[in-house]
Chains A and B, each alone.
Chain A
Amino acid sequence: MLRYLASRIFQGFLVLFALYTITFFLVKAMPGDPFTGEKNIPEDVKRNMREQSGLNDPLFVQYLNYPKEVLLEGSFNYSIKKKRPVVEIIVQAFPASLALGVSALIFSVMLAIPIGVLSALRKNSWIDYSGMAVAMVGICVPSFVIGPLLQIGIATRVPMLKIAGWDSPVDIVLPAITLGLATAAYLARLTRGGMLEILSQDYIRTARAKGLSTGRIMIVHALRGGLIPSVAFIGPAFATLISGSFIVESIFQVPGMGQHFVNAIIDRDEFLVLGLALFYGLLVVVMNLVADLLVGFLNPRVRIAELDA
């Protein structure tokens, strides 16, 4: 187990380093630099500012410097445009994105698992068809259509809810629904598929033959196996919910990380782009690992196969 964990963590580092390498050279390949847009700064001042930020060093030196600073000093450098440490910006913006991601995930799990289980139980009934049709809607109607529709349809009618903003805890409801709907749709389909496969297994028939109630069979016997595909999906999905919330954040004016990322790219704010990309990558790596551990916990066969590998 420990060896498995260690090798996964090592792999995670490799992934992050690859991500760093790709992002670094792509950022360097972007036309212009952080000071190109500043029309009011004289050319020689710009030159000094580049010098100070280390942007004049040879490319390879810059490429090695950043990880050195990250690993040895724990410093993710400064945002050149905002003149604040990258870490500070992330720490300030992350809670909003995290809260949004977590509530979207909770919403989609609470919506999708019951729909998926019911659809599988009543396969090819109207419950199944309508459940899966709703899921298709969740996949096909993008968040930037659903969001505005919720704003006009619900936020203008319900006094407690605002069209946009991030002041009271209630403000999280609409963005979380908008963000979670697509995840809920995939999750419902996966849960249905997983449950259908489990329900055709011999041990479920045995449980039925023993005269157990459907509820008991579902909760005690079927869910554990049937939820495996969903759990495997939730890990990466959670990371996507946090890193993919650019659009929902901009619709509902949530002060999260999405705005920073898009602006940082427009501004060519190199260190902020690198920091955010690495942070997103870290999220994905960690969530994948957590999901795999959970799947191993639910399904001993996977666990053994991985330990052997």
Chain B
Amino acid sequence: MSRVKLNHITEDDLIEGTSLGRDAWLRLRKNRIAMISLWLLAVIVTLCFVAAWFCKDPNTINLTNKFAPPSADHWLGTDQLGRDLFSRILYGGQISMLVGFVATAVTLLIGISYGAVSGYAGGRPDALMMRIVDTLYAIPFLVLVIILKVVIAGLVADLAGWTVENLGWNKEFVFRFANIIPLFVAIGALGWLTLARITRAQVLSIKNQEFVEAARSLGLSNRRILFRHVVPNTVGTAIVYATLTIPSFILYEASLSYLGMGVEAPNSSWGILIKEGANFLETQPSLLIIPGLVFSVTLFSLNFLGDGLRDALDPKASKD
């Protein structure tokens, strides 16, 4: 009887199930500010990483055309050396965002592994590992980042020189990269503390659930259980938190560059553009205001998108 009935159900009668991701996406779509941020970010990222290839060379100096106003040739005018501001902003954005994203990836890697091992191990090792995190927490961040950056920069420069000499790599290319890698590593190596705490808390609540016990009764090794079964369940929360660290890392990069401890020529970043623009505040305020605006809008969108993602993926989390 029931079987006969089933045959009469048409597709319209079925209620489509929603997956976790789809559910979150629907919630995110309702959040207007987050959606605006998402679009803004998409535009900025596309401009910086795609459109930049079709722009003028950001390092071409033209001293006969300094401080030019916006024109068809130079959309946002030129700077104190006659370089095109528009393409400088796009190329600077590449570095700023790269630092934000790569440093965040580094913190994800360190933070998740550390937190997961600590939470899963429990007992003494856990207490010791968390004490270390507490200790590192109390250390002024910017102070250590600056020192660490100088140390790593020395090592990377040696390595870069070696690759050029012995492997015949392109010198200009190698040194451009050698200049930004220390920033990724220094910021990433010190920014993982909160992430480790969050992951540990997650692992503590997961490690006693049935599916972990099932995995254990199948005779899997601890390492396999931890990284194949427990950690994947913590990654979501970690990534949401990580979206919120991207803007703060971009800000750190800009601060370091502003202090002259960050990116060096021929690379540039938004921090450097702002720093240079501040020198010509009275003659040409747009050199500060335009990069400052692009920078702030990017941070704005990343923050709102991060907030939105957190609310969408975890509706129970408090909305401060």
A binding-site residues for B, Cβ under 8 Å: 12, 14-15, 18-19, 22-23, 26-27, 29-32, 136-137, 139-142, 144-145, 147-149, 151-152, 189-190, 192-193, 197, 239-240, 243-244, 246-247, 250-251, 261-262, 265, 273, 276-277, 280-281, 283-285, 288
Contacts and interface: CB of A to CB of B under 8 A. Distances in A.
Contacts of B271: 144
B142 A244 contact: yes
A280 B138 CA distance: 10
Nearest to A17: B135
Interface stretch (B23-31, B61-69, B231-239, B254-262): B254-262
Given A142-B251, A193-B318, A280-B143, A136 B138 contact: no
B51 interface: no
Given A30-B151, A145-B292, A250 B140 contact: no
A151 B274 contact: no
Interface of B: 135-136, 138-140, 142-144, 146-148, 150-151, 154, 157, 247, 251, 254-255, 258-261, 271, 274-275, 277-278, 281-282, 285, 288-289, 292, 295-296, 299-300, 303-304, 318, 320
Contacts of B135: 14-15, 18
Contact of A281 (B139, B259, B285, B288): B139
27 contacts: A15-B139, A19-B138, A30-B147, A30-B154, A31-B157, A136-B300, A137-B296, A140-B299, A140-B300, A144-B258, A144-B275, A145-B296, A148-B288, A152-B281, A152-B282, A193-B318, A246-B259, A250-B259, A261-B143, A262-B146, A265-B147, A265-B261, A273-B147, A277-B140, A280-B140, A280-B143, A283-B140
The dominant DSSP class at the A interface is helix
Contacts of B247: 140
A288 B277 CA distance: 37
A239 B299 CA distance: 24
Contacts of A32: 154
B147 A189 contact: no
Contacts of B320: 189-190, 192-193
A155 to B, nearest CB: 11
A143 to B, nearest CB: 8
Contact of A243 (B140, B299, B300): B140
Nearest to A193: B320
Contacts of B150: 30-31, 265
Nearest to A192: B320
Contacts of A136: 300, 303-304
Contact of A148 (B140, B146, B281, B295): B281
A193 B303 CA distance: 17
Given A251-B278, A284-B139, 5 more contacts: A18-B135, A142-B274, A142-B299, A148-B278, A261-B146
| Pairs of residues from A and B, 3 with the lowest C-beta to C-beta distance, nearest first | A31-B154, A193-B320, A145-B292
